[in-house]
Amino acid sequence: MSAHLPVGQIPADDLYDEVDRERCLPEPPKRVDAPVRTAFERDRARVVHAASSRRLAAKTQVVGPQSDDFVRNRLTHSLEVAQIARDLSRALGSQPDIAETAALAHDLGHPPFGHNGERVLADLASSCGGFEGNAQTLRLLTRLEAKAFDGDRSVGLNLTRATLDACTKYPWPIADAAPTGGVHGDGVEVTGRKFGVYDDDRPVFDWMRRPGVGTRRCVEAQIMDLADDVAYSVHDVEDAVVAGRLDLARVDREAVWATVRDWYLPEADDAELDDVLDELEAVASWPQHEYDGTRRGLAALKNLTSDLIGRFCGAVQLATFASTEGPLVRYRADLVLPERTLLEIAVLKGIAARYVMQAADRVDLLSRQRELLSELTTEVWNRGESALDRSFAADWATATDDAARLRVVIDQVASLTDASAVAWHARLLPSSPA
């Protein structure tokens, strides 16, 4: 009956077919007395209950989760991205559970110390195919985060094809990845290539992708990626204000514009960036006075956060609807990101970068973190199977060469939280300063 409704009135679930709902390993029907849930609702529940999700609470977002009670960690960031992705997906008419699950999962592959740790592991893993947080996410979802087994082989959470594809931000292997530059959202320099699958995970990747789509991302992955970008740009500014590092009523434009050009938009000129910030400052909730730490001040800051998220997502929704009749499902359409919106997001990122990421205390900390993680990974490799948790020790025992054994070590270290990486370093290298 719903198939005869115009796009936009058809229930989102009806726009996805059995191929989209298929799992790599077929599963028997659930008990008749179990709660009735869609395949995509089950996907979401599996990610929510995954051990990797819980570990995100102790992994760095921009600054370490132990540094402040207010600052965001990878878990709280992922929850905020998920809320933005779900609302935007619902407004666009796609399946909100898919976009939300992709957002909840998008940072699962991050190692200790976030992008800073990713940079270290990418260098150390060069002989076994590299390391990339998004490729590690796919590996977790399809192998390391065990829920289902096909014989003796773990198939991870055994998510549906549509959900797994939505989690893939960079749908290509390292061999097809273009050289990158610039910085991540947390200010760490991008030194490697961005890709979404390791060579030994290609079978499930190839099963997941629709034939003929090449490197194109499904629209649900595009929604996840935009939600991540919006959350980064807005919430990093909020954190900086509350931490006393930034007064939005007195932004040093000259310094910020230099950062915007260095990190994000090398061709942007002062006049263009001034115009963008003028418009942002015209938003009714933009503060006119320094944040004072009161409940009223925090409420005002939260209103600004809400207004900016609504501004960015609303602009994308309008531009997308103006360019396509939809439906906004899988590969039938793409998001349209207005150039002005991208500029506004870049300006907010530049403000956060200038007042937080470039701070001298943080730059020194990043250097210490890289040294610790490099020493720890090398020591685990030297000790081999005896240094590994039981599940990774089993992987080591079945590895057939040094490249495969190194991948096991990388998997082990990447699974650690910030605190457990420090604790492992102290235990395995007691004479080395942390």
Residue recorded with tokens 């002005």: 340
At 395, the amino acid letter reads: D
383: how many CB neighbours lie within 10 A of its CB?
12
**130 within 8 A of 174, measured Cβ to Cβ:** yes
Alpha helices in 191-333 (DSSP H): 202-208, 219-242, 253-263, 270-281, 295-323
CA distance 328 to 222: 11
What dihedral do alpha carbons 38, 39, 41, 42 form, nearest 10°? 120
Nearest alpha carbon to residue 53 among 115, 100, 119, 117: 100
Query: Could you give the domains of the chain?
Result: 2-216 (1.10.3210.10), 220-361 (no CATH), 370-428 (no CATH)
Helix axes 114-124, 360-383, angle to 10 degrees: 40
Give the Cα separation of 141 and 174 in Å (integer).
19
- Cα–Cα distance measured from residue 255 to residue 221, given in angstroms and rounded to the nearest whole number: 34
According to DSSP, residue 149 is labeled: E
What gap in Å lies between CA 198 and CA 184, rounded to an integer? 21
The answer to whether the predicted template modeling score (pTM) of the entire model surpasses 0.85 is yes
Give me the pLDDT at residue 7, please. Answer: 46
Q: What is the pLDDT of residue 181?
A: 65
Give, as one character, the DSSP assignment of residue 248.
T
Given this model, what pLDDT does residue 13 score? Answer: 74
Helix (H, G, I), strand (E, B) or coil at 23: strand
Separation CA 271–CA 216 (nearest Å): 35
Residue 159 region by backbone torsions, left for phi larger than 0, else alpha for psi between -120 and 50, else beta = beta
Q: Which candidate, 250, 251, 259, 235, places its Cα nearest to that of 346? A: 259
Question: How far apart, in whole angstroms, are the C-alpha atoms of residue 58 and residue 156?
Answer: 22
Q: Which residues, in sequence order, are bridge partners of residue 293?
A: none
pLDDT of the residue at 225: 97
Q: What is the pLDDT of residue 114?
A: 86
Per-residue pLDDT of the chain (434 residues; tens, 9 = 90+): 333 334 454 557 789 999 999 999 998 877 666 668 899 999 999 999 999 999 998 876 555 444 455 567 889 999 999 999 999 999 999 999 999 999 999 999 999 998 889 999 999 999 999 999 999 999 999 999 989 899 889 999 999 999 999 999 999 999 999 877 666 555 566 667 899 999 999 999 999 998 999 999 999 999 999 999 999 899 989 988 998 889 999 999 999 999 999 888 999 999 999 999 999 999 999 999 999 999 999 999 999 999 999 999 999 999 999 999 889 999 999 999 999 999 999 999 999 988 887 777 777 788 899 999 999 999 999 999 999 999 999 999 999 999 999 999 999 999 999 999 999 999 999 987 65
Q: Is the peptide bond before 65 cis (omega within 30 degrees of 0)?
A: no
CA distance 222 to 81: 13
pLDDT for residue 64? 46
Closest to 188 (Cα-Cα) out of 121, 250, 108, 239: 121
Residue type, 433: P
Helix or strand or coil: residue 151? coil
CA–CA separation, 224 and 222 (whole Å)? 5
Query: The tokens of 83 are what?
Result: 């809320």
SS3 150: strand
